[in-house]
């Protein structure tokens, strides 16, 4: 946990001429008594291509620091134009306001600074040699970039190397979140594969069931054919039996006729007698 917390920075005399001093009103809170002073420092980034052109504009020691909310005014001299590459003097650059305790930096605030000429004519037709007296600066105070670092304070033991910057922790957290997302994607893929496998098993079961039903239908069809054959045989036997009965009746009728015809002869014989 940080013993000193930066609460706010107000950028004064902004915009201003390039050669005017920088002024900041800084407010911070101290949670516990400190044995050493706080060192505040302002750095001007002279080139985006090399650190050799960076200039430390000023640094001050603030202390002893009482517990509670503290406020002070920090003033720093402007950068030396001679130490800045001519092609980067009238352009956008950065200033860094930092604070350290026991030579350990625990907070850094960066601001973009836009340097341009003060007249439309010079902006449209810049001179070959930079006219610093006509250059004005504008600090983008509304968009600071704050970076905090964990350090060892008076009431803590250990080496400062054991306390990495907070941005590294944020990167690790992002890495862990990314790993969790990958694990979730893998779990979803496994669930989809299981669902696909289950669906395939269900389809195979249904297919086997349909095949079993077809076999049962074939068996039923064969049984029906056997029953029809049996019925056909029984009907054939009944037809044959009926035919035999009809033939027997015809024979009986013929025998009756013959008997009837035979009985007439004695009668005729009686009448003729």
Cα–Cα distance list, 180 to 173, 187, 190, 191, 193 (Å): 10, 10, 15, 16, 20
What pLDDT does residue 161 have? 47
What pLDDT does residue 164 have? 46
Gap between the Cα atoms of 104 and 108, Å rounded: 11
- Whether this prediction's pTM lies above 0.75 is answered by no
What pLDDT does residue 270 have? 35
* Concatenated DSSP letters of 55-71: EEEEEEEE-SPPSEEEE
What pLDDT does residue 57 have? 96
What pLDDT does residue 205 have? 52
C-alpha triplet 74, 79, 81: angle, nearest 5°: 165
* CB atoms near residue 84 (< 10 Å): 22
C-alpha triplet 90, 91, 96: angle, nearest 5°: 110
What pLDDT does residue 230 have? 54
Compute φ and ψ for 103, nearest 5 degrees: 65, 20
What pLDDT does residue 233 have? 54
What pLDDT does residue 267 have? 36
What pLDDT does residue 241 have? 57
Tens-level pLDDT at each residue, the chain (273 residues):
789 999 999 999 999 999 999 999 999 999 999 999 999 999 999 998 889 999 999 999 999 999 999 999 999 999 999 999 999 999 999 999 999 999 999 999 999 999 999 999 999 999 989 999 999 999 999 999 999 999 999 866 555 444 444 454 444 555 566 667 777 777 777 777 776 665 555 555 555 555 555 555 554 545 555 555 555 555 555 555 555 565 555 555 554 444 444 444 343 433 333
What pLDDT does residue 117 have? 95
Compute φ and ψ for 49, nearest 5 degrees: -105, -20
């Amino acid at each position: 946990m940080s013993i000193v917390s930066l609460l706010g920075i107000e950028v004064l005399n902004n915009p201003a001429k390039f050669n005017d001093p920088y002024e900041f009103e800084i407010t911070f809170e101290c949670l516990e008594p400190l044995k050493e002073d706080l060192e505040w420092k302002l750095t001007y980034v002279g080139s985006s291509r090399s650190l050799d052109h960076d200039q430390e504009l000023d640094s001050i020691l603030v202390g002893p620091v009482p517990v509670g909310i503290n406020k002070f005014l920090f003033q720093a001299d402007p950068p030396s134009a001679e130490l800045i590459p001519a092609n980067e003097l009238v352009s956008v650059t950065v200033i860094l306001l930092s604070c350290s305790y026991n030579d350990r930096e625990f907070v850094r605030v960066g601001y973009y600074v836009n340097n341009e000429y003060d007249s439309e004519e010079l902006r449209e037709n810049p001179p070959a040699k930079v006219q610093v007296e006509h250059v004005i600066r504008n600090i983008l105070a509304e968009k600071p970039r704050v970076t905090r670092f964990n350090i060892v304070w008076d009431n803590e033991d250990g080496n400062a190397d054991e306390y990495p910057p907070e941005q590294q922790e944020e990167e690790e957290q992002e890495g862990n979140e990314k790993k969790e997302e990958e694990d979730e994607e893998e779990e979803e893929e496994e669930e989809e594969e299981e669902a696909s496998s289950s669906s395939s098993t269900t389809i195979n079961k249904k297919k086997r069931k349909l095949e079993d039903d077809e076999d049962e239908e074939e068996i039923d069809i064969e049984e029906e054919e056997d029953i029809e054959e049996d019925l056909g045989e029984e009907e054939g036997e009944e037809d044959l039996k009926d035919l035999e009965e009809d033939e027997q009746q015809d024979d009986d009728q013929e025998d009756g006729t013959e008997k009837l015809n035979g009985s007439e002869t004695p009668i005729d014989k009686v009448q003729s007698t």
